[in-house]
Amino acid sequence: MKTDTPRPILLKDYRPPNYLIDTVALDVSLHPTRTRVLARLKVRRNPAWQGDPGPLQLDGETLELESVRLDGRQLGAGDYRLSDKDLVIGVPPSDPFTIEIVTYCNPEANKALTGLYLSRGVYCTQCEAQGFRRIAYFLDRPDVLATYTTRIEADREEAPVLLGNGNPVERGTLAGGKRHYAVWRDPHPKPSYLFAIVGGNLASYASDFVTASGRKVDLRIYVEPGKENRCAWAMDSLKRSMRWDEERFGREYDLDVFNIVAVSDFNMGAMENKGLNIFNDGLILASPETATDASFAAIERVIAHEYFHNWTGNRITCRDWFQLCLKEGLTVFRDQEFCADQRSATVERIRDVRTLKAAQFPEDAGPLAHPVRPGRYIEINNFYTATVYNKGAELVRMLQTLLGREGFRRGMDLYFERHDGQAATVEDFVACFADATAKDLGQFMTWYSQAGTPELVCQLKYDARAKTADLTISQVLPPTPGEPKKKPLHIPVRLGLLGGNGQDIDLTLASGQRLEGGLLELRKRSETFRFRDVPSRPVPSLLRGFSAPVNLTVELGDADLEFLMANDSDLYNRWQAAQDYATRVLVEAVKAIRAGKRPRKPAGFVAALGVTLKDASLAPGYRAQFLFLPSESDLARVMARDVDPLAIHKARKELRKAIGTTHYRALVDTYREYEPKGPYSPAPEPAGKRALRNVALGYLASRGRPEDIARVAGHFSNARNATDEVSALAMLSELRAPERTAAFERFYERWKDDHLVIDNWFAYQAASPLPSALATVVKLTRHPLFSIKNPNKVRALIGAFVMGNPVNFNRPDGKGYEFAAERVLEIDAFNPQVAARLLSGFRSWKALEVNRRRLAKQALQRVARTKPLSRDTSEIVGKMLE
């Protein structure tokens, strides 16, 4: 941990490394408190380096140095300089040369969970972004690519399973039989952040896969013994991902084995280490009783994501950490396309846009706004953000929209062909699409360097005599911290015009050009597009499929929105119309509540929603999405200033009650109609039915009558799968009733021995809107099953409160903020990454009404004043208070 003021790192300062490391031979002797690492590095001068390369400066942190040898000669203390962040060796005598360094590290004491650490007795590693330097002295940067051979030695009893990157080469037992070893070799050059080893007592679930060219790959998922029977879904997802990447992008797997290890202490979701993915076990283990449909879907998505990195991230990696979106944005796009192909494309698109708007739009609108490719950072771990991941994916999607699927594929093929085995940049990536399709993408690059969510202001004017419609689109680019002036962007706008019969009108521009696929390309700050042969006043359906990550402003009356909800041929935009209508109704209601008036009855909206509820021609999974109202956070984001979370909560609760009351009959029918038959399946169709049934039940519960509460309690006790059980628990968590207490008690008794399922028990108490929530959360931090050192537990309890409980986190007395600030400081002392991420609960504090804003600021100032503070937390809190 550093207490000095850290210097920012700038993209424009990038220099290639002065030395390259071609091969790495590691000998790791595992020990809980004193693991010995011998690193043998073959080093040479980088021919791309101009002039004298100077000394060799190797990164290293928290390491205890034993010895350094240069070309076999032992160096004395005067031959190198050692600090707490590097080891500097004076100009070496020969080129190339070999360095052998022996160091020790302490896995048991490592609670930051980066580098080598122990998770429930299993040795594992996390090296992205800069964890390798906590294992060995190295040029720990992504543009140094080497082939690795790793020998791992351990106590046989303590760690019968020993895994490394690449293919297994050799294994054996040492004299005396107490210790054993395994050797792994990875033939593919890779940066150090993709290094991994695992050692422990693990059981495995095995299968295999034959690639398109006929090579057999052994697949194995390693888990805590006794959990093997919960791996089938993850394995099935892996095989489907491998097949899909061959079919969609022509990418085959390239090693003899692919191993996945599930561990229970993990800062992130999962990590794509070459041939040895390491996962948070919550994203591997699933059975119908223990995992909800949402968990099954998340497992499928993350397994695919990490697997797809094998080509986008591993075979082609990033030149420097500023290019993080090159691997993450692209790979999120690929996992989204995979899920769209496996499931309902519309429902997946709705889900992706919901995530983008909930996680990325507030980031872009607040003090943490940064471009998809940032130009500066202090702590790179703070840039694993929704902007880099989710907006980064939208940029790739826009490329596909602009070039068409076929043109996009040609660009990807060229990218794989041109940059395989390299560390590339965003410029390299986009150049492949420009070269493959001869399209000018110069202006498109601005998306990568400019922060903020653009607003598209659209106006449609119809001329009944000339039968023309003029669509004027202006892009408004609000300033973000450090970027007062913005350049216009190249924006794909997909649209349709609906005639009076609800059908799409053929789109012909005044020039006579027919607009195939309804795609306009906006390049100027403001442009008017004239459509001819428009027989009657059309209703515009703009930004179909959410063709660009922007906010859309267009004047549509209630009747227009109802019309779109019922008729739009683009089902995504139908859903969007319902969201817009609901948002309008709710924002008005919030204003009325704050003015002490009664909100007007939202009869039009409620009636329109009922039409879709009853429309059996639409898939249940889609109808479920349609019926979800915008969340309290969505509404706060749209309102943007003077936000009162309690008024928002009340307005939303009232509207839910009105829907539940008005459509009582239809909701009861829906609940009965989709009663599950037969055994549980996580497939999208039955999952969609369960989703619709649970949404219907939720609306019924919002009426709050005894028979409604009894229905939810019955749903809970009769549940035969985790989805129904957890949904009912979530509904009961909002109600003040004895059934609530009974359900939480029963859930606890049933699941207290399962460290994953019990997280629901923590999370739904923490997210409850009841006024007692904060006191409950404080009490639960002392519960024997809670551990502040375990990131999953922190997310389940403290994360659910800070990020998922707007009413109680934003208590008017500021106690929610105080609690969050205290926990951030507590966690910062041992795990800066998790602490800094928890702070993002405050990211929209400047939008709050004046009293809460003052209290939130006090809590942030308290964090900022504390010393020592990690680089991670001090960077985030500093930006928030700027």
Specify the residue, 303 or 658, whose C-beta has the smaller distance to Zn ion.
Answer: 303
Specify the residue, 290 or 331, whose C-beta has the smaller distance to Zn ion.
Answer: 331
Specify the residue, 303 or 539, whose C-beta has the smaller distance to Zn ion.
Answer: 303
Residue 621: name the closest of 566, 561, 680, 575 by CA: 575
Task: Provide the b/e sequence for 395-410 (b: ≥16 CB within 10 Å).
Answer: bbbbbbbbbeeebbbb
Task: Supply the minimum distance, in Å, between the C-beta of residue 11 and Zn ion.
Answer: 20
Site for Zn ion in 95-134 (CB under 5 A): none
Tell me, rounded to whole angstroms, the distance of Cα 730 from its chain centroid. Answer: 23
**Pair 408, 433: CB distance under 8 Å:** yes
Task: Supply the minimum distance, in Å, between the C-beta of residue 328 and Zn ion.
Answer: 5
Residue 184: name the closest of 170, 196, 199, 195 by CA: 170
Task: Supply the minimum distance, in Å, between the C-beta of residue 192 and Zn ion.
Answer: 17
Element (H, E) at 66: strand 64-70
- Tokens 């706060």 map to which residue? 636
Task: Supply the minimum distance, in Å, between the C-beta of residue 352 and Zn ion.
Answer: 15
**Pair 388, 415: CB distance under 8 Å:** no
Q: For residue 112, which phi and psi values (nearest 5 degrees)?
A: -75, -15
How far is it, in rounded angstroms, from Cα 198 to Cα 863?
Answer: 36
Specify the residue, 313 or 630, whose C-beta has the smaller distance to Zn ion.
Answer: 313
Residue 112: name the closest of 125, 99, 100, 121 by CA: 125
User: Which is it for the CA torsion 630, 632, 633, 638, positive or negative?
Assistant: positive
Task: Supply the minimum distance, in Å, between the C-beta of residue 14 and Zn ion.
Answer: 22
Element (H, E) at 424: strand 423-424
- Tokens 């003029």 map to which residue? 470
Strands 468-476 and 526-531, by their bridges, are: antiparallel
How far is it, in rounded angstroms, from Cα 591 to Cα 606?
Answer: 19
Number of residues engaging Zn ion in binding (CB under 5 A) = 2
Specify the residue, 329 or 630, whose C-beta has the smaller distance to Zn ion.
Answer: 329
Sheet with 80-82, strands from edge to edge, namely: 56-59, 86-89, 80-82
Site for Zn ion in 200-259 (CB under 5 A): none
Specify the residue, 331 or 573, whose C-beta has the smaller distance to Zn ion.
Answer: 331
Q: Where are the beta strands (DSSP E) in 477-534?
A: 491-498, 519-522, 526-531
- Tokens 């899920």 map to which residue? 339
For the chain, what's the residue count? 882
Specify the residue, 280 or 576, whose C-beta has the smaller distance to Zn ion.
Answer: 280
Element (H, E) at 10: strand 9-10
Catalytic site includes residue 417: no
Catalytic residue (one of 306, 632, 725, 734)? 306
Q: By three-state DSSP, how is residue 708 classified?
A: helix
Site for Zn ion in 434-493 (CB under 5 A): none
Task: Supply the minimum distance, in Å, between the C-beta of residue 384 and Zn ion.
Answer: 9
The single-letter code of the amino acid at 754 is D
In this structure, how many other beta carbons lie within 10 angstroms of the beta carbon of residue 183? 20
Specify the residue, 270 or 743, whose C-beta has the smaller distance to Zn ion.
Answer: 270
Task: Supply the minimum distance, in Å, between the C-beta of residue 329 and Zn ion.
Answer: 9
In this structure, how many other beta carbons lie within 10 angstroms of the beta carbon of residue 209? 17
Specify the residue, 273 or 551, whose C-beta has the smaller distance to Zn ion.
Answer: 273
Strands 115-119 and 64-70, by their bridges, are: unpaired
Specify the residue, 314 or 344, whose C-beta has the smaller distance to Zn ion.
Answer: 314
Site string for Zn ion, 310-329 (x = CB under 5 A): ------------------x-
Specify the residue, 245 or 644, whose C-beta has the smaller distance to Zn ion.
Answer: 245
How far is it, in rounded angstroms, from Cα 472 to Cα 553?
Answer: 12
Task: Supply the minimum distance, in Å, between the C-beta of residue 23 and Zn ion.
Answer: 27
Specify the residue, 103 or 331, whose C-beta has the smaller distance to Zn ion.
Answer: 331
Cβ-proximal residues to 218 (8 Å cutoff; 6+ apart), any chain: 206, 208, 256, 257, 258
**Pair 511, 547: CB distance under 8 Å:** no
Task: Supply the minimum distance, in Å, between the C-beta of residue 270 and Zn ion.
Answer: 8
Q: For residue 809, which phi and psi values (nearest 5 degrees)?
A: -60, -40
Specify the residue, 255 or 330, whose C-beta has the smaller distance to Zn ion.
Answer: 330
How far is it, in rounded angstroms, from Cα 291 to Cα 721?
Answer: 8
Task: Supply the minimum distance, in Å, between the C-beta of residue 298 and Zn ion.
Answer: 14
Strands 73-74 and 64-70, by their bridges, are: antiparallel
How far is it, in rounded angstroms, from Cα 576 to Cα 281?
Answer: 35
Bridge partners, residue 459, by sequence: 472
**Pair 811, 774: CB distance under 8 Å:** yes
Write the DSSP symbol of residue 796. Answer: I
Give 830's Cβ-side CA count (13 Å radius). Answer: 14
Output the CA–CA distances (angstroms, integers) from residue 419 to 188, 326, 678, in the order listed. 14, 12, 50
Site for Zn ion in 323-382 (CB under 5 A): 328, 331
How far is it, in rounded angstroms, from Cα 387 to Cα 377?
Answer: 14
Q: Alpha helix locations (H) across 374-422?
A: 386, 392-419
Task: Supply the minimum distance, in Å, between the C-beta of residue 211 and Zn ion.
Answer: 22
**Pair 269, 280: CB distance under 8 Å:** yes
Residues with active-site annotation: 306
Q: Which residues bind Zn ion (CB under 5 A)?
A: 328, 331
